[in-house]
Amino acid sequence: MKAYVFPGQGAQFVGMGKDLYDSSEEAKRMFETANDILGFKITDLMFAGTDEDLKQTKVTQPAIFLHSVILAKVMGDSFTPDMSAGHSLGEFSALVACGAMSFEDGLRLVFKRAMAMQKACEAEPSTMAAIIGMDDADVEKVCSSIDEIVVPANYNSPGQIVISGSVAGIDAAIAKLTEMGAKRALKLAVGGAFHSPLMEPARVELAAAIENTAFSKPVCPVYQNVNASPVTDPDQIKQNLVAQLTAPVRWTQTVENMLRDGAVSFVEVGPGKVLQGLIKKVDRKAEVSGASI
């Protein structure tokens, strides 16, 4: 069985999507539609902007979504998912590519999500940190022992977990985990605590938008971040998407469940190779590749 996976924030690069725009009339139309919906020329920033331009959350999230979804569309009949998943933002790409909502609605939700998250980040200083070389259970224990807000945010692969919370909470967790023998405990260059309770204002804002968006049954099960389980029911998909903003991304568990359910090969659709690397860390024998047109 073939699994298609879609990357999240951090996979962006200058020039992303230019080859699609130049080689496909359909891609060109979709990019121009995106410019109209967003109210600014995201194509200029994607194709010829700076790294700094692409790091703005309001640009990063729609840019990665556009690259992924348009690539899946241009693949045409060769896009044949038996199952699918996306990492954080990538879940929106997976749902659109697999027919659970329209391209236009998906882009509007992604932009709404980006703006709501940016607002939540600005409301309270917060950050994230990557913890390498510790058991998940030990990281969880340390997080729960700290009085400040600090929680596991991304279970990326065995021995690699990202934590999220207040600046003081993250600093305290880094100190404790380093003391306990973490190979690395590194604060990330992000502007906020994604997938933590500090995203609650963004969750409320996004919930209203998701509730007013039409969802359909996807062409294949989509394994969602909050429970790492395959979902096809539109109402359940919506609930899980809303919960995703304040809940951890269970990527390790998602890949394990896809393998258990028969996934033989994984194709990453979108910029970069981050997910291919993470999947290999979950199972060295897994067959991984990047989508191409």
Q: What residue has token string 């690539």?
A: 71
Q: pTM score, two decimals?
A: 0.96
User: Could you tell me which residue, 83 or 191, shows the higher pLDDT?
Assistant: 83
Domains of the chain with CATH codes: 2-122+197-290 (3.40.366.10), 124-187 (3.30.70.250)
- Give the torsion sign (CA, 178, 180, 183, 184): negative
Q: What pLDDT was estimated at residue 292? A: 76
Answer whether residue 77 shows pLDDT above 80: yes
- pLDDT for the residue numbered 8: 95
Residue 260 scores a pLDDT above 80: yes
* pLDDT score for 57: 86
Q: Contact, 166 vs 148, CB < 8 A?
A: yes
Distance of alpha carbon 72 from alpha carbon 121, whole angstroms: 31
Active-site hit among 24, 88, 166, 196: 88
Which pLDDT value is given to residue 190? 80
Cβ neighbours around 242 below 10 Å, total: 19
* Whether residue 88 lies in the annotated active site: yes
Residue 144 designated active-site: no
Using the 8-state DSSP alphabet, how is residue 158 labeled?
T
Structure confidence by residue, pLDDT tens digits, 184-232: 999 997 878 999 999 999 999 999 999 999 999 999 999 999 999 999 9
Q: How many CA atoms are closer than 13 Å to the CA of 94, on its beta-carbon side?
A: 30
What H or E segment, with its residue span, contains residue 215? none
Among the listed residues 24, 126, 195, 196, the single catalytic one is 195
> What pLDDT digit, counting tens, does each position of 30-70 carry?
999 999 999 999 999 999 999 999 988 889 999 999 999 99
Sorting pLDDT into bands at 50, 70 and 90, what band is 124?
confident
